[in-house]
Structure 1
Amino acid sequence: MNNSPMARAVTIFQTAFGKVASIHVQAPGRVNLIGEHTDYNDGLVLPCAIDYRTVIVARQRDDRLVRVVAADYEDAADEYSLDAPIERRAAPMWANYVRGVVQELVQRGLPVRGMEMVIAGDVPQGAGLSSSASLSVAVCRLFATLPGFEDVSPIDMALIAQRAENDFVGCKCGNMDQISSASGIQDHALMIDCRSLKVDPVPIPRGAAIMIFNSHVSRGLVDSAYNARRLQCEEAARYFGVPALRDVDPAMLDARGAELAPVVLRRARHVVTENERVAAAAKALAAGNLERMGELMEASHASMRDDFEITMPAIDHLVSIVKAAIGTAGGVRMTGGGFGGCVVALMPRDLVNAARTAVEKDYRGPNGENATIYLCRAAEGAGMAAT
């Protein structure tokens, strides 16, 4: 039996709407190799889209009604008119990601039409792999199949999805997740300048494997903690008299940073040094130097732990297990917003089994469970999907 997201969505669409879907789109999740909490500081990041994704199957309606069914939430439904105010719901949260994108499209004056759709996906939720950005970008990609959307670029879609999450859902995320999902290139990471929105593909070396380890540490506090750290970064930027921490270099930090509150200084130091690590990592990856990538990923994790204070003891332990298994041949670090979620590792393929065995033997989550392990490939970004 085919239980893929696409197969589930197609079947549920026929049951829910009594018709065959005519539009099939997808948008991937992402994993960030290095560059954490730099995106909303106008900085540099190095993520890649992954081959786990949100799919939407749909048909255009002849009226102004939007009808949505969520296959991953027991076929829960949401329905509203494009001719009435689109309001944020107290629950379920998935509905707000869809509503937020639709409202943003309407507010931008784009020719939105009524739609009926079923959404399904296999991006792990709450793990820091951008299931929310995958959903938002997929909704945007769906409506971009309509006439009048021809000039909406992948970057436009990413910014629409980001605005929806910032203003409608209420999480002040940066633009990395959405750009990764919209603009991914198979077998490449993306060096993204989050200020200029310039995207440079960086090839993943042949023979390298991307492994993701879900710690099963819940990220329940991530939104409030994320927003608090964003405010601390903005405070540091104001102190230095610059638009964002992207404009602060280590020399400035050393010369004037002592006047900052200690916690704000630590937050700023992470962002400033992380930008330098990302630039160095892009060069190392392009050169196929996994050993140098490993050094930079290790330094990134230490900075997230000590200066940005977003790791957890269980995450640190998981990182140490993987690092012991792969040694200097690759790198491992926490990935995502922090306070739980996933660890990402980049290593030669011949070390995959050693890393898997070590984690299965030595790591247990908060309830005694094993880490869930994903062997990923850098994937294409949002687009039409095959059935």
Structure 2
Amino acid sequence: MSNPAQRATKLFVQTFGTKADDLYQAPGRVNIIGEHTDYNEGLVLPAAINFHTVIAVKHREDDLFRAVTDAFPGQIKQWHFGEEGTVSSNDDWANYLKGVTSAMHTSGLHAKGLDLAIVGNVPLGAGLSSSAALEVAFGTAISYASQLHLSPLAIAQLSQRGESQYMCHDCGIMDQMISALAVEDHALLIDCLELESETVLIPEELSIIVIDPGINRKAFMVQFEQRRKECSIITALLGLDSLRDLSSSYLEQRRDTLSSEQFRRARHIITENARASNVARAFQHNNIARFSQLMAQSHQSLRDDFEVILPEVDILVSMIAEHIGERGGVRMSDGCVIALIEHEFTDNVINLVEQEYTQKTGLEATIHLCSASNGAGRISKLPRK
């Protein structure tokens, strides 16, 4: 199969009858640790992965945007800059694009239109943030084409603002920031309150494996939104601006204010913020055993305090953890399972997942071998046919 850049170039010619001017890309991501902390303005440690959204574009002299994607063949979506209208259920994928131009318009920016063909290999619905890759690739394309000279962080902020305000998805900024700012072979320790980030080299002896366990993704997302609402209620009950401001001592002082369930939810956020920082330090000291312990603690906290781990996912994580011991770390992340393990265990873990997981659960998992990639940017040359 041709790569996304070649496919985007071909789709553009097929759709618009002319060659594209430029190509832009943005990666999907995995979140190594820091689960449910981003929308609570806490710490996260994601890495971009070698699965990308690629957009082929041609500049226009008016303010019209025309978009096509091979994910939904035959659909050409169009709108004028600043005239995105309301969110339409018939324009699911285009809404992410309209959110970006809407955010730019409301921020006082001016951009010319583009014809664009969108192709990607970020698995859809697998918790790898294909939506943020689309937004950031599009924002990057507009910044270059209209000579807006936006920083990667500004593109991430506009992308998140579009999804939050235009689409009314109350999302944190982690996905957009890592897609825009990532550095090859590194994770990024992101402070979601201060919008500051620190590159953290991933130990070279670790392979990154992402496993889609085949669970009901819609049910997972419903549960995700429930936890988000619970955190909002807890924040209000404690009189805080966000749970980022919460300390263990203050939580104990206000214990009678919360139900036992709310107390456990808040405790997860506090401990997970600490774990994100501690994993970054473990990587810097190449301490794989410590990393293994922290990932196990995160998974346990998600299971017992935050109560978002399905039995099938717990089985999968336990299988892998038992096999690798302290030679890597594994936990649930955004509905999938992420494992960073020493290279020599890769084949065994793949076989374990393909054989024993299906036998024990009746579910079929999908395995993605990943590497940490660079963030969004312009592809310097159009590919040859």
Q: TM-score, normalised by structure 2?
A: 0.95
CA distance in 1, matches of 2:129, 2:255: 33
Partner of 2:227: 229
1:174-229 deviation digits (Å, cap 9, x = unpaired): 01111010000000010101111111000011221111111121311344433332
CA distance in 2, matches of 1:168, 1:34: 28
Which of 372, 377, 380 is 1:378 aligned to? 372
CA distance in 1, matches of 2:340, 2:166: 35
Partner of 2:346: 352
CA distance in 2, matches of 1:75, 1:158: 29
Partner of 1:25: 24
Instruction: Note the C-alpha offset of 1:261.
Output: 2.0
CA distance in 1, matches of 2:357, 2:217: 18
CA distance in 2, matches of 1:283, 1:233: 27
| 1:104 to 1:170, Cα distance in 2 relative to 1, 3 A | same
CA distance in 2, matches of 1:46, 1:85: 34
Instruction: Note the C-alpha offset of 1:148.
Output: 4.0
CA distance in 2, matches of 1:83, 1:365: 53
Q: Which ranges in structure 2 are unaligned for 5 or more consecutive residues?
A: none
2:254 is matched by which residue type in structure 1?
R
Alignment check: 8 A CA contact 1:331 1:345 kept: yes
Alignment check: 8 A CA contact 2:312 2:361 kept: no
Alignment partner of 1:64 is 2:58: no
Runs (4+) of structure 1 exceeding 6 A deviation are none
Alignment of 1:221-300 (within 5 A): 221-300=219-298
| 1:84 to 1:276, Cα distance in 2 relative to 1, 3 A | closer
Alignment check: 8 A CA contact 2:112 2:146 kept: no
1:382 is matched by which residue type in structure 2?
A
Partner of 1:211: 209
Instruction: Note the C-alpha offset of 1:368.
Output: 4.7
Alignment partner of 1:305 is 2:303: yes
**Secondary structure of residue in 2 paired with 1:133:** helix
Alignment check: 8 A CA contact 1:326 1:354 kept: no
1:278-313 deviation digits (Å, cap 9, x = unpaired): 111111011111111111111111111122122211
Alignment check: 8 A CA contact 1:217 1:366 kept: no
Which of 151, 154, 163 is 1:156 aligned to? 154
Alignment of 1:330-341 (within 5 A): 330-336=328-334, 341=335
Q: TM-score, normalised by structure 1?
A: 0.94
CA distance in 1, matches of 2:364, 2:190: 33
1:24-46 deviation digits (Å, cap 9, x = unpaired): 00000010000011011111001
| Matched pairs, number | 381
1:6 is matched by which residue type in structure 2?
A
2:44 is matched by which residue type in structure 1?
V
CA distance in 2, matches of 1:354, 1:366: 17
Identity %: 39
* CA RMSD of superposed structures (Å): 1.8
1:344 is matched by which residue type in structure 2?
I
